[in-house]
Structure 1
Amino acid sequence: MSQLRLYFTYLSCLALLVGLLVSPYLQSMSLIGFAIAGVWEAAATRSTLRAQWKAFWQRPDFWVFGLHFVIVLLGAWSVQDLDFWQERLRIKLPFLVLPLAFFFMPKFSLRQYLGLLYLLVIVLSLTSLGILINYNLHFEEIQLLIKQGQSMPMPTNHIRFSLLLAIGIIAAGYLYTQGYYWKKEQERQWIAGMGLFLFVFIHVLSVRSGIAALYLAIFVLGLRYAWVSKRYWLGLAVIAALCTLPILGYFLLPSFKMKVDYALYDLRMRQSGQGTMLSDSERMTTLKVGWNIFKAAPLLGVGAGNLDQAVAFQYQAHFPNAARVMMPHNQFLYVAAGSGLVGLVLFCIAIFVPLFYGRNDQDWLFLGSYVVIFASLLVEATLENAMGVALSCFFLLMGMRERQ
């Protein structure tokens, strides 16, 4: 029976990894599967349940995830848009349920854990290959989309997909250094090849959020390794490589060049006051809107359930010519505008405790995944959609769980 519980948990993990790429329904079902796995394991080990429950509360890196839900729940005092508030609660519910589920559900062996990462790298490689083939078949049309500030066609949200790519590249490096292979040792060469392919492809994809997150993760991991190993020259080499690679990408990859040219065009238009309908200018507008809302109610915010109304009012009052109304493209500012300094403090606790508690940062796969997710919070409201929540919860909780 214990093996059956383990297989069910493993199947839920596999379903999530595939669901993140191709099926929101499968993604949702996998989260329910995690909850079932946690309850099933707790029921099967009920003789030690009290001790396990006590152990859970001694692991703040797990239970602190629930603060994301609490921040929204505290907004009940001033809710005006009940539908929006309930939607926020629904999206944040995994932060309340999954830490418990991951803490209680069966733990995998190292080989099983690495097998999940192997599957992630394979699925990402196959998906990326399909996107690349489509890009080559419709080169002119897709180049035009990029020139207009849009992204390549892909099966899921381009920003979240680029974050998955960044984590997949780090996972490929981790698998290679761990000497992992499924059946034959020659597979290590395939793992290295897939990692290199994904690294090149993320530049072809040219989603700046994912590239920036990957580069920041490589920078942090490179400096950490240089410091620990006392090979300080390696840190300089990493910095030099990170400065050189974008230049090479600009001259070698048409999609990357087009994206850079568009960003420079957007900047010039914004400086001349004519870029209100361009993507980067729209992002900057969302930050101004969020900051205005925060300044108006700095302590408690306007209420997590009222933020959409406050944003709409700001656009109508100060940016009436904007092409569309958008929420703040920064998770910290999003929380500050909705829940004030009180919510922002709780949010920072929820974000930083999992990194530093119990020396989780000593595991470089966890650290790399964390940096990718953290970087995304600076340029997106990553935790305000189901895929961002699922991605963040899975890779952080799974990493901490394997260190239990």
Structure 2
Amino acid sequence: MNFTNFRARIPAINSWLLAGVFFSIPLTVAPAYWFSALILILWLIEGRYSAKLRALGAEPLVWIFAAYYGVFLLSLLWTADLEWGRRMSGRQGFFLLFALYFSVARREHFGRYVSAFLLSIAMCELLAFYNWAQLNVWPDLPEGIRVEKGADDTAPFVDRMMYTPALALAGYLAGYRLLFDARGIGQRVLYAGLILATTLNLLIAGGRAGLLGFLVLLALLIFQRCARRPLLAGVLATLLAGGLVAGGYFGSDYFRARVDAGIDEVVNYEQRVDSSMGLRIVYALNSARMIAESPWLGVGIGDFEAEYARINAQHTPDWTPIYNPHNQYLYAQANAGIAASLLLLAVLFFPLLRRGPVDGRQRIRLALPVLFIPICLFESYLMRSNLSLMYVLFLAALWTGARERPA
């Protein structure tokens, strides 16, 4: 094969490598960086820079995501702790890679990307079921692949904070294929089985924000399937969400304990020092105090930890300080001010409100923002590497090749 033929084949090679990045989402994030580096090298070898840059320049999300990353980088100018600031800025790095992913994704291969993600999730679910059995039923089994974050974590590679939102999206995608794409009884059984496995994984994983996101996406899926009968969709969504929560509550001691503990920690948070939900309330209160002191520019991305420790010592000295407020909206405002908050709203709501073509991906385009908008109230998910990758990567594949409809 000569060099010219090799360059001609680079788009197809890069599309397979991009599928590898999708496969990496619920795993450790290192393979995603390796795949991305190789994609970039091949992208540079391929050439055609003028055409590529014109396509990137015409895509609004390229500019929005780059600006979102840039505003945190800019906040280093008023950051005292530059080393920590550079480290925290790197957590937003996948927003810069959106342009690369958008450039190499191929609309005709979107099904391949979804399949790679679902295959990876299915593998993680099997490992998680084994871990649950080893922890709760057969303790003499050999210890499985399990993240070393908590004694009750069943996820194999990342903790439940990052695992369960990925499960939520996988459940939606499996449901979408079952309702809209499946052909034949074999495919329907496959996707129904994946939905069931995903639901059970969510219940044993214990990630409350991820479960909330899953219920929201199930409601979205039902409304999309029953688009002409919104009243029926509302009844079905309510019954299904209520049934899943009730089934989990009465059918799983672990799930019931997590729910009961969460309610108790919210109601009595002042007496439950350093409880999971209590900490989130205290994080929000202290972050609000920080924002009140630096409302326009924020404290700078490198100084949140130090500023929070100062405010925490003044107002809630018995509580453990933190480096992020576990709320993406507070995170943006506290670190980089009004500009970061406005850009965060653009990152989340522009893909939700943007009009696109009816091209087979139009329903799925809503799923990413619908998932992240509510769960970002409970964690700074867009600075969590695996989930910022998931958000950026899926939006790149969903919007590549799309054309805005005229107003």
Q: TM-score, normalised by structure 2?
A: 0.86
Report deviation, 1:2.
Answer: 5.9
State how far apart, in whole Å, the 2-side matches of 1:360 and 1:376 are. Answer: 27
State how far apart, in whole Å, the 2-side matches of 1:203 and 1:357 are. Answer: 33
Report deviation, 1:206.
Answer: 2.2
8 Å Cα contact 1:382/1:389 also seen in 2: yes
Instruction: Give the alignment partner of residue 120 of structure 1, picking from 117, 121, 126.
Output: 117
The residue matched to 2:296 in structure 1 has which SS?
coil
State how far apart, in whole Å, the 2-side matches of 1:315 and 1:189 are. Answer: 52
8 Å Cα contact 2:91/2:383 also seen in 1: yes
Report deviation, 1:375.
Answer: 2.5
Corresponding residue number in structure 1 for 2:60:
60
Report deviation, 1:363.
Answer: 1.6
State how far apart, in whole Å, the 2-side matches of 1:128 and 1:118 are. Answer: 15
Report deviation, 1:102.
Answer: 2.5
The residue matched to 1:15 in structure 2 has which SS?
helix
State how far apart, in whole Å, the 2-side matches of 1:105 and 1:259 are. Answer: 42
1:213 pairs with 2:210: no
For residues 149 and 223 of structure 1, do their structure 2 counterparts lie closer, same or farther at Cα, with a shift above 3 Å needed?
farther
Report deviation, 1:268.
Answer: 4.7
1:166 pairs with 2:168: yes
Report deviation, 1:185.
Answer: 6.8
8 Å Cα contact 1:39/1:101 also seen in 2: no
* Structure 1: runs of 5 or more not aligned: 143-147
The residue matched to 2:93 in structure 1 has which SS?
helix
The C-alpha deviation readout for 1:116-156, integer Å capped at 9, x for no partner, is 322322321222122112212221789xxxxx996435321
Instruction: Give the alignment partner of residue 12 of structure 1, picking from 11, 17, 37.
Output: 17
Corresponding residue number in structure 2 for 1:132:
129
State how far apart, in whole Å, the 1-side matches of 2:235 and 2:267 are. Answer: 32
Corresponding residue number in structure 1 for 2:260:
261
Q: Output aligned runs, 1:61-80, within 5 Å.
A: 61-80=61-80
Corresponding residue number in structure 1 for 2:40:
35
* Structure 2: runs of 5 or more not aligned: 1-5, 144-149
State how far apart, in whole Å, the 1-side matches of 2:26 and 2:59 are. Answer: 31
The residue matched to 1:21 in structure 2 has which SS?
coil
Report deviation, 1:230.
Answer: 3.6
Runs of 4+ in 1 over 4 A off after TM superposition: none
Could you tell which deviates more after superposition, 389-398 or 213-222? 213-222
Q: Output aligned runs, 1:317-356, within 5 Å.
A: 317-356=314-353
Corresponding residue number in structure 2 for 1:314:
311
1:191 pairs with 2:191: yes
Corresponding residue number in structure 1 for 2:3:
none
State how far apart, in whole Å, the 2-side matches of 1:211 and 1:252 are. Answer: 16
Corresponding residue number in structure 1 for 2:237:
238
8 Å Cα contact 2:333/2:340 also seen in 1: yes
8 Å Cα contact 1:304/1:338 also seen in 2: yes
For residues 267 and 377 of structure 1, do their structure 2 counterparts lie closer, same or farther at Cα, with a shift above 3 Å needed?
closer
State how far apart, in whole Å, the 2-side matches of 1:106 and 1:209 are. Answer: 30
Corresponding residue number in structure 1 for 2:147:
none
8 Å Cα contact 2:178/2:192 also seen in 1: yes
Report deviation, 1:196.
Answer: 2.2
The residue matched to 1:321 in structure 2 has which SS?
coil
Give the partner amino acid of 2:111.
L
Give the partner amino acid of 1:107.
R
8 Å Cα contact 2:24/2:120 also seen in 1: no
1:370 pairs with 2:366: no
Give the partner amino acid of 2:210.
G
Give the partner amino acid of 1:290.
S
Report deviation, 1:99.
Answer: 2.8
RMSD between aligned residues: 2.7
Report deviation, 1:374.
Answer: 2.4
8 Å Cα contact 1:149/1:279 also seen in 2: no
Report deviation, 1:343.
Answer: 2.3
State how far apart, in whole Å, the 2-side matches of 1:258 and 1:149 are. Answer: 15
8 Å Cα contact 2:287/2:325 also seen in 1: yes
Q: Work out the percentage of aligned pairs sharing the same amino acid.
A: 18
Report deviation, 1:108.
Answer: 4.5
State how far apart, in whole Å, the 2-side matches of 1:388 and 1:162 are. Answer: 10
Q: TM-score, normalised by structure 1?
A: 0.86
Corresponding residue number in structure 1 for 2:274:
277
